[in-house]
A and B are shown apart, each in its own frame.
Chain A
Amino acid sequence: MKAYVARRLLALVPVALVVATVAFVLIHLAPGDPAAIIAGPDASPDDVQRIARQLGLDTPLYVQLGRFYGRLLRGDLGQSIFLRKPVSEAILDRVEPTLLLTVFATLIAVAIGVPSGVISARYHNTGPDQAFMALALVGISVPNFLLALLMVLLFGVRLGWFPVAGYVPLEYGWLGTLRSLVLPAAALGLVQSALIARITRSSMRDVLYQQFIVASRAKGLSERAIVYKHALRNALIPTITIIGISFAILIGGAVVVETIFNIPGIGRLIISAVLRRDYPVIQGVVLCVAGVYMLVNLLVDLSYLVIDPRVRYR
């Protein structure tokens, strides 16, 4: 087991190298130039060139790539062009809102998705099942920016229960933070919950037709115990996988929702970096997100050990 974890962690290194190289090459191949953005709309081509020279962007790409590798070996992600601080610091600044938003959204998604999936499976083809699945279909189909804007309109503008935008950092009190995150977390969580509900339902349905469930019924166990104790635990593996994936996606930055709600998280960081071609920040964030993705996957795989004692890793 320890050897397995060590192997998986070691595998991070080549993946990180590939991700770093691909990210570097792709964004440098994309058109656009930070120097032109700094110089502003009325600047002459000479001014733009001068700024590009100051930023070291006039050197050949392979030289820049070499410098990038050199910095990576020293654990340095470089210096942001626009933020005037190290990329690692810029990322750390944004972790708090993104992490809280992700946890909050995932809690909402699980709290709604898992029970409604279970109920749907248990009362298969009845009124509640159809109602839940119709809602889930709507949930999957509605883009989260639309849901977010509708929620702003209703709960922010009309009812005034929550702020329309902005993030209150934890240092100013958790209640304010919670209030500022309710709408964005709901907008993200509701969409994810639809996916979780559908997966839970289908895996529960598979389990409920298996022989050990028939055996449990035959030995007289209550339906409640069968569904919640035996069937659910067996049906959880695909559900946990999908929760893990959606968590990883969210932590990589809920780009749209963070933009709409003006939350200064990883998503906003990457989107403004892309729009301004802040190359070091784009590279750094992509690398970190890839790392988090792999770690979450590893944790999901390890969680199977807890849920299903038959699983063994060597």
Chain B
Amino acid sequence: MKRSHVVCGVLGAVAWTLIASAIAHAQDKPRIGGVFKAAMIGEPPTLDPHTTTAVITQQITWHVYETLYTYDKNYAPIPMLAEGHSVGDKGRTYTFKLRRGVKFHNGKEMTAADVVASLRHWTKLAGRGKAIGKDMEGIEAKDPSTVALYLKEPMPALLVGLAHPNNAAAIYPKEVVDAAGDGPIKDYIGTGPYRFVEHKPDRHIKLVRFKDYSARPEPPDFFGGKRTAYLDEILFVPVPEVAVRLAGVETGEYHHGQQIKQDQYDRIKTMPGVVAQIIKPSAWSVAVLNHKQGLFTDKRLRQAMQAALDMEPIMAAGFGHKDFYRIDPSLLFAEQAAWYSKAGAELYNQKNRAKAQKLLKEAAYTGMPVRWITTKEYEWMYKNALVAKQQLEAAGFKIDLQVVDWATLVQRRNKPELFDVFSTGFTFNPEPAFTTVVECNWPGWWCLEDKDRWMESIRREADPKVRRAMWEKVQILFYEDVGRVKFGDYFSLVVNGKGVKGLLAVNELPLWNVWLDK
């Protein structure tokens, strides 16, 4: 072979590689513009995240409002509106330095006064905020860009609390908070990459790019770092019918459809214009027992219920497809290495009918019906309950399954005289300190001295290893005392149009750094 041929060949190969990589690069390069339409399951109950724990409120509003901290990919808090912080007085004083030049959507610059007003509102109204508020001595603006927060006791989980997107410690302008008083805010103004334009109920919620957005300088890191609004506009369209959410993404009407039925997964994989995303982890399915009143104040009956259940058929009925559920005892997910634990696992998924029958006998159970409230509005709750009912009745329980709508369920569960069990799901939580999973002051009222003491210690302790050990104790108690009955983890299915790029597969739906390919 001639040398010139070899040179030509090599040059040709190099050229092709360059062209190919240029094409690939061009495809990866974010494109600015476009209207993103997200098909949502319904309407948010409010647009003030301080006042609700509804996931849909978080998914929409966190494009508008920002928090002092947010999460990196390990769910560790990293600064967002804060520049950084220092801790003094043996962990009892946090001094936050704020970023300068951050503008609200009304053109005003964010200052310490806005942060103080917002955090006061949040610690008064939000569930997680109140948990922090009761240990808070005070909060004050030191100067326009410095905020000091004083605690009665050290609270290592404070930053996680400030970073959590749900029921978020969103920062609003002071005048908006002042106008709201103790109620929800009425003007939706934040510092986020998208600003609120209009809410037309049952039609859409419209956000547009905020031109004066001041992004962080660091590269994007999960929820943190630089946020770029590539999209001109975002429309959150309520589409309550699941078949229509899917069909809409298939025809290109919507770019994103949430909560698609998991049993459709195999079919969706064959659809040309649709990309399926599995949100993992999403939540776990649970039967919450009433510890305050009724049958399940008897520990032996709770243990009988826990012993009787076989989780595989329960979860299979609820979620249809093997890729979407997991039989796992851990109260925080396998994806959360710092908290994942099998402590107490021997009491989970026992499938031991004989043991259940023995316990029922010991408790002298006379066949009084167990009132279990569930709903078909979340079909998996109903299906989980239906299969569990069969298994429990085979063991000797009598179950009165009361199927109601969600609004009735969330009302009745607050009244201990009305139920023995209710169905629900616990969504992903990065940190045990603020979780409702083992909370005493929450429907079901699982209050246990040892457990509550451990939980208090977790909130105070700073050493991660010690905190983990404490959490394992709580998890063991969860199974020994049968705090609630966990069925299993489940994952949700969302669909995106082919042109959607850069969307993280997480429940929170972050649409900054997302763009639409032509």
Contact = CB atoms under 8 A, between A and B. Distances in A.
B420 to A, nearest CB: 17
B244 A165 contact: yes
Given A39-B53, A44-B127, A45-B443, A31 B408 contact: yes
A264 B404 contact: no
Given A32-B408, A40-B45, A42-B167, A165 B239 contact: yes
A165 B243 CA distance: 11
Nearest to A90: B201
B259 to A, nearest CB: 14
Nearest to B415: A45
A48 interface: yes
A42 B436 contact: yes
Q: Which 3 A-B pairs have the closest CB atoms?
A: A40-B53, A32-B407, A42-B53
B127 A152 contact: no
Interface residues of A, number: 48
Interface stretch (A136-144, A212-220, A243-251, A270-278): A270-278
A164 B251 contact: yes
Given A38-B51, A260-B241, A48 B414 contact: yes
Q: Is the interface of A mostly helix, strand, loop or mixed?
A: helix
A241 to B, nearest CB: 32
Contacts of B156: none
Nearest to A80: B201
B202 A152 contact: no
Given A38-B51, A83-B201, A276-B407, A260 B244 contact: yes
A82 interface: yes
Contacts of B386: none
B57 interface: yes
A40 B201 contact: no
Interface in B19-47: 42-43, 45-46
16 contacts: A31-B404, A36-B407, A38-B46, A39-B52, A39-B53, A40-B53, A42-B427, A47-B125, A54-B182, A54-B183, A93-B201, A157-B251, A164-B247, A260-B241, A276-B45, A277-B407
Contact of B127 (A47, A149, A260): A47
Interface in A15-49: 30-34, 36-48
Given A38-B46, A82-B45, A264-B201, A152 B244 contact: yes
Nearest to A32: B407
Interface in A45-69: 45-48, 51, 54
Interface in A259-281: 259-262, 264, 268-269, 272, 275-277
A38 B45 contact: yes
A149 B241 CA distance: 10
Contacts of B443: 45
A291 interface: no
Interface of B: 42-43, 45-46, 51-54, 57, 125, 127, 166-167, 182-183, 186, 200-203, 237-241, 243-244, 247-248, 250-251, 253, 377, 404-408, 410-412, 414, 424, 427, 436, 439, 441-443
Nearest to A167: B203
Nearest to A82: B45
Given A38-B46, A42-B436, A262 B239 contact: yes
Contact of A264 (B203, B410, B439): B203
B59 to A, nearest CB: 13
A44 B441 contact: yes
A166 interface: yes
A272 B54 CA distance: 16
A145 B238 CA distance: 18
A78 interface: no
A277 B406 CA distance: 11
Contacts of A115: none
B405 A275 contact: yes
A156 interface: yes
B251 A32 contact: no
B380 to A, nearest CB: 14
B46 A164 contact: no
A277 B42 CA distance: 15
A272 B42 contact: yes
A165 B252 CA distance: 11
A183 B45 CA distance: 30
Given A264-B200, A276-B45, A36 B410 contact: yes
A284 to B, nearest CB: 14
A152 B247 contact: yes
Given A36-B410, A272-B202, 5 more contacts: A42-B167, A44-B441, A44-B442, A152-B243, A153-B247
Interface in A184-229: none
A128 interface: no
Contact of A165 (B248, B404, B414): B248
Nearest to A164: B247
Contacts of B441: 44-46
A70 interface: no
Contacts of B202: 94, 264, 268-269, 272
Contacts of B412: 31
Contact of A156 (B201, B251, B436): B251
B42 to A, nearest CB: 7
A92 to B, nearest CB: 13
A67 B301 CA distance: 47
A238 interface: no
A87 B52 CA distance: 23
A163 interface: yes
A187 to B, nearest CB: 13
A276 B54 CA distance: 13
A259 B241 contact: yes
A43 B52 CA distance: 7
B407 A41 contact: no
Contact of A40 (B43, B167, B237): B167
Contacts of A39: 51-53
B53 A164 contact: no
Given A38-B46, A43-B127, A275 B407 contact: yes
A47 B122 CA distance: 13
B335 to A, nearest CB: 20
Contacts of A46: 441
Contacts of A84: 186
Nearest to B43: A272
A46 B126 CA distance: 11
B410 to A, nearest CB: 4
